[in-house]
Amino acid sequence: MGGASELDELRDEAVAFLDEHWDLDLTLGAWWEALARSGLGFPTWPTEWFGRALGNDALGVLGELFRAHGAVGAPGGLGQMMGGPVVMRHGNDDQQQRHLWNLASGAESWCQFFSEPGSGSDLASAQTRAVRDGDEWVVNGQKVWTSGARTADRGMLLARVDMDAPKHRGLGYFIIQVEQPGIDIRPLKQMTGDANFNEVFFTDARVADADLIGRPGDGWAAAVTTLAFERSGRAGVVGVGVTQRSDLGERRRDLRNRKLGELVERRGARRTTSPDARNPGIAGPLSPVSLIGEPGANRTDPVRQDVVRYYVQARVNAMSQERARADAAAGKGAGPASSITKLARSVATRINRDLGPAILGAAGMLAGAEAPHGGAIAHSTLQAPSTSIAGGTDEIQHNILGERVLGLPREPQVDRDIPFRELKVGTVRAEARGKEEQ
């Protein structure tokens, strides 16, 4: 987006839209549909797909207005953050017609079926199989660390479609219906006490060929695009609200029937009784910047210096996110900015992890409703390690930057051009061992 006058026009239009349409008696679904038709919910999306084709500065303007108005934001989640952009970039006209409205209007939520027990950082070695059967594909295998699978309508599935092609060239990328007999979802309990992740088993699950993104074997390109949007954060979504989150335990279609007044009231209650320290923000109520101002806080010079380090790191991370989102919105693909953003977020999270207990002392280690801030500081400490793992480990991001930015030699990959069937990894190794024993 261009100059101040254009932003002023956008601001005026958004104010008029909120004045006319925001009504606590509306259902969430009706509100999201009005927001999608206006193009204000996803302003960086193309105009033909419920956006405005604007830059990231529009997100800041609109987000501020929505917060000031107390309005629920656009539907969020993995589908909106990653699935929509992938379908726009790699999908065909039919797929865009069928899926993008459902995402923009919040009619569906999606999850991500990528990681496997034997294929995490080396995602290209995924062993879940998809075999063509007429107009459908039959899927067998296992995925793990799947967020929101229990409430998702569809999933972005990476599966192997060609055992004789090298691992990067034998993958398919599907949009699969989650509610079907062949998909078994089992929650995984984390050390925080939460169960946000799941392991998922596919046993003759089915997905239509019409929901294969791109051609068979081209799934890696769509997967890379997905990961770029994941690392750069929640790109292109305006507003905030608990209604965006899949951990409410409700399916999106059920949540859409609730009145806005009820959701706003519940959002306020959650903020009061259950603060979220996992994403404390630069100066939010659970940020080190705010905690150090509380009565009895440890304000020694070393702690004060670390708070400044956190603030600077968080600001740098915010700027890196803007750069990564701008690159993605401009169609530049997966650039180094997304890896830099991921690493910066990990650094800020580790600083925040240590500062909470340092500022509050022993009270920062307490959990439960009676603890300071409802135990959110201790929860944040336990949650912190996941940041350096999710979305591609920090080590993977260092490799990407070393190779693509610094020009360092690639790590040896002796398996890159070998047919996947010949690789001795995971279940393929077990299959080969079984044949040898016969």
d(CA 112, CA 96): 18
Q: Is the dihedral of CA 58, 64, 68, 74 positive or negative?
A: positive
Please return the burial class of 274, using the count of CB atoms within 10 Å of its CB with bins 0-12, 13-18 and 19+: middle
Q: Are 383 and 425 in contact (CB under 8 A)?
A: no
User: What are the beta bridge partners of residue 171?
Assistant: 160, 218
CA angle 171/176/236 to nearest 5° reads: 90
Q: Which amino acid is at 300?
A: T
Q: What is the DSSP string of 179-229?
A: SSTTEEEEEE--TTS---EEEEEEEEEEEEGGGEEEEEEBHHHHHHHHHHH
Choosing from 33, 199, 230, 322, the catalytic residue is 230
| The CA-based dihedral angle spanning residues 29, 267, 367, 147, taken in that order and rounded to the nearest 10 degrees | 20
- Residue 234 sits at φ, ψ, to 5 deg, of -75, 75
Mark whether 230 is an active-site residue.
Answer: yes
d(CA 320, CA 432): 45
Estimate to the nearest angstrom the gap between the alpha carbon of 396 and the chain centroid.
18
Catalytic residues: 230
